[in-house]
């Protein structure tokens, strides 16, 4: 059985979070790190942009700066995510580490099944959007039109609870390697998020849900971390070993944060392509 590593980290800046994920990916690619599940949070409030998004088109960048809401561009595609009261995970592995199917869509579904199982362990009726069309809010299917806000979009393997989308996930592949990360909102304040995105989000409340709203009680980061860890191990039949980043990973992460993710040219670069 492959040895898996668990990294727990809270309250990192957006630049440090994206740099750490990429540093782990580089270490894994070089054979210097085992497959890794990382669970983390963001501080201060931040926005992550999909790789192909243009900051000036998606965000009210002046308001972000005025209110110290940082934003960072991801290496994965997809839409903007507001990170405040949420839990984010990342998975770095190969197809063989989780015995994944060749199909990108099917592998995405297989990996994301640990989230479905985590919600079910909480007594919530969660399902992939494509498998739950009878109960998914009709407005969700109207959201197949283009949106700059992740939680306002709807794809086949997005996860729904009570007919509403919860969180968002994205994947990037490099040969046999897979990097997938996702964000689950513990609570949602659409009115606040609307301050920083240019898109009108007035209808979003009807088709998204936070974990605390779904559960009918406040769910903390620590509470859900424990559920996620247990679900990941049970879903894939493996054991996670709590560990920390190596000195080399820390060094690479610090360099990436400083030279790439804190760099205006990276975060705005899609504006100049």
How far apart, in whole angstroms, are the C-alpha atoms of residue 246 and residue 253? Answer: 10
| 130 catalytic per annotation | no
Question: Closest Cα partner for 101 from 23, 157, 38, 21?
Answer: 157
Question: Residue 147: how many CB atoms within 10 A of its CB?
Answer: 17
Catalytic residue among 64, 93, 130, 150: 150
Q: How far, in whole angstroms, is CA 44 from its chain's centroid?
A: 17
Question: Residue 198: how many CB atoms within 10 A of its CB?
Answer: 15
Beta bridge partners of 184: 87
What is the SS3 assignment for 93? strand
| Active site (catalytic) residues | 150
């Amino acid at each position: 059985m492959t040895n898996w590593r668990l990294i727990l980290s809270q309250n990192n800046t957006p630049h440090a979070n994206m740099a750490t994920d990429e540093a782990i990916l580089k270490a894994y690619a070089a054979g210097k790190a085992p497959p890794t599940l990382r669970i983390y949070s963001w501080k201060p409030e931040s926005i992550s942009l999909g790789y192909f998004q243009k900051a000036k088109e998606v965000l009210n960048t002046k308001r972000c700066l005025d209110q110290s809401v940082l934003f960072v561009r991801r290496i994965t595609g997809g839409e903007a995510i507001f990170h405040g009261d949420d839990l984010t995970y990342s998975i770095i592995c190969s197809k063989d580490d989780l015995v994944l199917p060749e199909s990108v869509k099917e592998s995405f579904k297989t990996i994301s099944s640990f989230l479905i199982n985590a919600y079910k362990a909480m007594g919530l009726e969660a399902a992939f959007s494509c498998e739950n069309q009878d109960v998914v809010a009709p407005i969700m299917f109207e959201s197949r039109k283009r949106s700059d806000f992740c939680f306002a979009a709807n794809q086949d393997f997005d996860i729904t609870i009570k007919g509403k989308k919860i969180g968002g996930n994205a994947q990037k592949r490099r040969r046999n390697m897979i990097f997938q990360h996702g964000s689950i909102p513990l609570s949602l304040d659409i009115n606040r998020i609307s301050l920083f995105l240019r898109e009108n989000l007035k209808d979003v409340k009807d088709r998204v849900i936070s974990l605390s709203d779904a559960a009918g009680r406040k769910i903390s980061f620590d509470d859900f971390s424990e559920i996620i860890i247990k679900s990941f191990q049970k879903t894939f039949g493996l054991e996670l070993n709590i560990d920390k980043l190596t000195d080399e990973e820390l060094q690479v992460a610090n360099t990436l944060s400083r030279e790439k993710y804190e760099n205006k040219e990276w975060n705005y670069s899609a504006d100049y392509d």
